Amino acid sequence: MTVSHNLTVQMHQQDTDYYCGAACAQMVLESMGAGLLDQDDLYADNHSHSTVDTGVNWATGPDGLQWTMMDRRPPGFTNYFALYALDTEELISRKLCWTIHHYQVAPIALVYGWAHWIVVRGYTASAHPASSGDNGYTIEAFDINNPWPPTPSFDTPALAPPPPHSATDGCGSGGTRGLANEHITYATWRSTYMTGVPGGHWNGKFVAVCDPEPPALRGGPVPPARQRRGKGDLLPHDDLVRSASEGLKAYGLNKRKPWANLLRQSQPLGSVMVQRLDHANSFYALVPFGSGDGIDAMVAVDGRWGDYLQSVLRSDTTHLVEPLTREDALKLVLDRRIDLGRGLGRVVVRKEALCLYPHLVWRPCLESMSPYYPFHLITVGRQRIYVRIDGAVFTSLTLDVKGF
């Protein structure tokens, strides 16, 4: 038997491509009763107080985010936020669970190395933690609010609001931007999200802004081994769809509100394979579920072994973005002069002189902090062009980001 604890934290997207820390602070502080604070002000606080790691160019450093959460907490909130940089992923994950369960406040975690901040608003486990030091339960999954992608007004100011944000601003509602109701298995959390800081002051640590109590001790139960299927070849469509459906049932999402109502009327609509650019020989497939008029949920499964990885559900009012087809991706660049940036000139994309990679590709980067937003990869000679599934076109991926 498993238990779940999910907090109500309204989704808000980041206003710029580097405001993830400000958006996370905005979400958590609002859920505590501080009101909807301005992301520009929150980012100024985060950035100006990110002073410990002087050798790293943080947008929002861990110390800066902790300072902001302490300074902006509402008067009635008598507890305080602590910055934890722990030695293992397990220890920081148990801190997340205890903060949610005991303090009823969503912690903020640093993921994808040191690239990005997200709000962790819920968990599923074998039992609720009995104390901050409890290491006897097994974590099965997390529920998150990921503030990426930026609000549509970041690219097109005429589309505002938001900003300013409001209780009905539509952030995370799906459509062409925003993802809410994200569910991540603990195995995926360990392998993709909570991977540890790769350098600087917090090198080798696993970081989050949580409650102030001492962390659990090491030595909790070892997560069960994954049940592999197949021989490691890329799985065919039918197996991917079956794995996605089985995963939703195995984690009880087909019985959880608000998932149950939407999944009851949805069917798998296909599958697309995605190759990880940062992990050798690693693939995942996105399997959309819908009812004919749009996509209700997107499920990610391992492309070689069929493991359920994570999923996302649409809002009550808007469907999720439908992945751009290969044909439509080509139409966006064919016979166009694409500026390569950095003074490298422009390249003409000719139908007779390009290669379109057979699978989508993804890695955490400034251009996509969500595995639900992979890219079509087109090469023209030695130049690469990335067409994100929502139609945005890039000639490179920005990897050197900290707290974006």
Chain segment 123-156, per-residue pLDDT in tens: 999 999 999 999 999 999 999 999 999 998 888 8
Amino acid at 227: Q
Beta strands in 12-150 (DSSP E): 82-86, 108-111, 116-125, 139-145
Q: What is the mean pLDDT of residues 106-123?
A: 98
If asked whether residues 120 and 89 sit together in one domain, one would say yes
pLDDT digits (tens, 9 = 90+) for 251-280: 999 999 889 988 998 999 999 999 999 999
> Is pLDDT of 229 > 90?
no
If asked whether residues 180 and 81 sit together in one domain, one would say yes
- Assess if residue 221 is contained within a domain: no
If asked whether residues 346 and 380 sit together in one domain, one would say yes
CA dist 94 and 88 (Å) reads 10
Q: How confident is the model at residue 177 (pLDDT cuts 50, 70, 90)?
A: low
* Residue 377, helix vs strand vs coil: strand
If asked whether residues 179 and 291 sit together in one domain, one would say no
Q: Average per-residue pLDDT in the chain? A: 92
- Assess if residue 222 is contained within a domain: no
**Taking the C-alpha atoms of 326, 301, 198 and 121 in order, what is their torsion angle to the nearest 10 degrees?**
110
pLDDT digits (tens, 9 = 90+) for 61-85: 999 999 999 999 999 888 889 999 9
> Is pLDDT of 306 > 80?
yes
Pinpoint the alpha helices (H) of 82-212: 89-103, 152-155, 186-188
If asked whether residues 200 and 64 sit together in one domain, one would say yes
If asked whether residues 194 and 245 sit together in one domain, one would say no
Q: Residue 251: give the domain boundaries.
A: 237-313
- Assess if residue 403 is contained within a domain: no
- Assess if residue 218 is contained within a domain: no
CA dist 397 and 329 (Å) reads 17
Amino acid at 37: L
Structural domain total, the chain: 3
If asked whether residues 107 and 248 sit together in one domain, one would say no
CATH number of domain containing 36: 3.90.70
- Assess if residue 318 is contained within a domain: no
If asked whether residues 14 and 119 sit together in one domain, one would say yes
Q: Global pTM?
A: 0.95
Of the listed ranges 9-18, 29-38, 39-48, 215-224, the least confidently predicted one is 215-224
If asked whether residues 289 and 162 sit together in one domain, one would say no
Contact 317, 293 (CB under 8 A): no
- Assess if residue 404 is contained within a domain: no
Amino acid at 36: L
CB hemisphere CA count around 380 (13 angstroms)? 20
Name the one residue in this structure whose structure tokens are 């590709």.
361
Pinpoint the alpha helices (H) of 104-236: 152-155, 186-188
CB hemisphere CA count around 105 (13 angstroms)? 27
Please report the pLDDT score of residue 173 as a whole number: 65
> Is pLDDT of 182 > 80?
yes
If asked whether residues 101 and 156 sit together in one domain, one would say yes
If asked whether residues 125 and 185 sit together in one domain, one would say yes
- Assess if residue 86 is contained within a domain: yes
Amino acid at 301: V
If asked whether residues 133 and 34 sit together in one domain, one would say yes
